[in-house]
Structure 1
Amino acid sequence: MEIDDIKKLIAFDESRTLELKKTTGELKDGMHSACAFLNTEGGWLIFGVAPKSLKIIGQEVTDKTQQEIAQALAGLEPAVDVRVAYVDVPEYPRNRVIAMHFDGWVWGERPHTFHGCPYYKVESTTKVMPQDMYDERIRAHQPQLYAWERLAADGVTLADLNENLIRNCIRRGIDGGRIPESALYEPTGDILSKWKLLKNGVPTNGAVLLFSSNIDEYPQFTLRMARFVGTNKNMFRDNQRAEGNFFQLLDAGVAFCFKHLSLSGRITNHSLEREEHLEVPYHALREALINALCHRHWERYNLTISLAIYDDRIEIASPGTFPPQITPENIKEPHESYPHNLKVAEALYRMTYLENWGSGARRIMDACQTQGVETPTWSSDGDFVTITFKRPDFKSDIIENDKEDKKITEEGKYPLNTPQAPPKHPLSTPQVELLIQKMEDSYMTMRNMADVCDIKDLKYFRERYITPALQEGLIERLYPNQPKHPKQQYRLTEVAKEWLTNKVK
């Protein structure tokens, strides 16, 4: 290294990757910067240059100077192999500039400390690393020791998990070609052990998140949902709170979107069937909810995921932060996946709830572009990651066809007041409406009906779909006098068929 190299390095003043010190009398402060470089993007630490004037003076270098530098570098943990360059200064023959380069931090590496304290760079300033950031990097370095999802759940046994739900998810993975058929005949404990969702025979927090029906000790297993009036939070017309495992929260979020978003339809040129679309694509919203649930920082028990629908937009906010490699801008580009909850993500991939890792944002944007809807934006405030969809039907005062404000319009749109129909509006909930649209003309089992509606929790499906549809006379049983018949099936009634016919017209 020559003096011209030093001149090039200091030409643009101090920055995020350059720290200048006049002499090694500032060696301790210099090591703070060295630690910060190691924890950020790397950089040069140079002694012998005046920071303000950028004048290259150098300093006398003795054996003691070199020993002090070596001793200071030894205070960095983990240890680093740094080549120290001593560059002669032509204007001062007895002086030399001391230059050291430090490589930047890479995801998965242990964060560096100097004498036990971690530092990092904020622009050109060296700061003590926040505890949350340090903990995040420790988790990334040794996830098997620190990840919330891998900790054994306190007071939970296999009996507390919903075995039917686990079996249904296994069947889904088999159908998707990601789980071998032999898994159907294995004990659920063996399956969960293979998926690293058991620790010494005890379900992990990740297993509880996915499959437990007992969530009393998990206040963070909550989804807040609100339909606000206008474009701010001053007033709401619907405010709900769902509690449950991963799949129950997902179903609740999807149902809330169906309740409050416009559903439009048209007959396409290639089909005589009416194609129904939510104003914002269903698959985009569902993918966003899955990502919010999968990548949430569940250890933050005092925060909750929120789904907020305004007149002009939809916001889904999940507690957590972007991985260091991901920003609100580059998330739209092809990127690797850095799941915060690795074992939960792996299980969801096996069950076909997740596709190729790192492709979620791309699929959300593709769904929006296919439907001609503006692609969403992502943002982060340090506590929450938020995805925002713009509502395409937005007008200055109101959303057309909003189901809460347009009940009269909706009743006129669906001519159900016929002699065959009951006096009450048959499609009393969005869930029932979806069920009627998805069912075939022939008899179907409850499992098949749940599958076409993309619902995995059969108890939830029975309560929210089957029971109200039966009460409204929209579906009928194959064995009406034996509700619990082992071969029970259901089909659409004439009332439901007439509603479908009128809807297509």
Structure 2
Amino acid sequence: MSKTASELKKLLSLGENQTLEYLTNCELKHCGPRVCAFLNTQGGYLLCGVDDKGQINGVEDAGQIAEKLESQLKSAIQPPVLFSVEVQEVENKQLLVVEAPAGKDIPYAFNSNIYIRVGEQTQQADVDTIRDMVMRKQVEPTRWERLFSSELDEQGLSTIACKKLLSAKRIPKEVAQAEQGLLHQLQLLSLAKYGRLTNAADVLLASAPGKRHPQARVRAVCYRHKADDEYQDLQHLDGPMADVIEQLITFVMRNTPSRARFSSANNQREDIPMYPEQAVREAIVNAFAHRDYSSFAGGIKIEVSPVGLTIWNAGAFPQGIDLQKIKQGHISVLRNPDIAHGLYLQGYMEKLGRGSIVIQDACKNAGLPLPKWHSDSSSGVTLTLFAPEATPEVTPEVTPEVTPEVTPEVTPGIYKLLDCLDGELSTLEIISKLGLKDREHVREVYIKPGLQQTLIELTLPDKPKSPKQKYRLTSLGQQVKQQLSNKKKP
């Protein structure tokens, strides 16, 4: 059955405003000019395995062909640029989807020929068009990522980070097999020029880029209330970008409790992370790839709280992108294509212009509220993933698909705390009920873990140090206390 462009976009989660072109085969001589034309204009998607009427024919041995085609395109298209080739299944048939964002280093050439899109057609650029491209490139300011990094040499690079990048599966063969040394390999990836390393190489691969670029440091905090006098967890991270990304993902997953989901099929409980790791990973990677590195006042900050996960990065949406286009999965207008390319090669950016679609779908499938983006030229871009609202009174039979429930590890200390809490008690009253004397011991072993796991709460949350401060069970704490009580009954 034939599909309209709109239907194919929906099936492939491409967003409604994307430019599509179809090909029945995956031959380089047909794909190359079209990808080149997308790079030289506004970007787009090439669907291989679909005829011009929208009939889905599929591609045999799609996995092998995708790997081969990507390698061929990377060798044939110059200068080096970021695009992706992936396999997607539609109606039990495999398609190749080539995603090409608008390039930053036009004109791009395929086998020494320059192609552009005119209307819905791909055609070879004439002399006047090429001259106009070259003139526009000459007057545009040099991107921050392409500037030379001050005081950085090969000794400042992380050996492990360089090895990870250059051994990645997606690295072009001519880069992996180059014998002229590390700087030459990085030059082939636009991370070095004239024997000097760029800012992109610095933030991607340096052991401590924060020494030269303070804005490259990342701050991650976890708190229960913003008014708390101390954070539950706090980290300042600096290092190769891939390492920092992994540490941030671990930070988020460590500081968010699990929740229970009940399947309608077998009514079995499944413990899952509060936020889907796919959404967390995509959100963090996007912050690194799309942020504005040029401002020393910029940066990335991650906040974990009981109400949600907030990821902030410096710089507003790129020109031509707005909130509506983000929600629709508009193809990326990449602010930092060299940095994004480094992340893509290492497997961190699977869907270049569809990160927002991935995040929304992951949250929706997990039963979470839809995430929200906010962009402001002065304050940057903020993405918020919202925690589910606890609904302990709703039974699995009423909402079989998703019933959020925090499932903390109940230590003996926490159990004793829950058991003694009846109504609202001050610290001294808790100490007395527990039969203990050491105030600091009670705070660290009983009260603090209870707060961290949202089993107890402050009666005066906005005044954590008030002498009138008391503690009481949350609805979750009451639930856990009842469960523990039931277990004790014969």
TM-score, structure 1 as length reference: 0.47
Between the two structures, name the one with larger relative contact order (CA 8 Å, sep ≥ 6).
Answer: 2
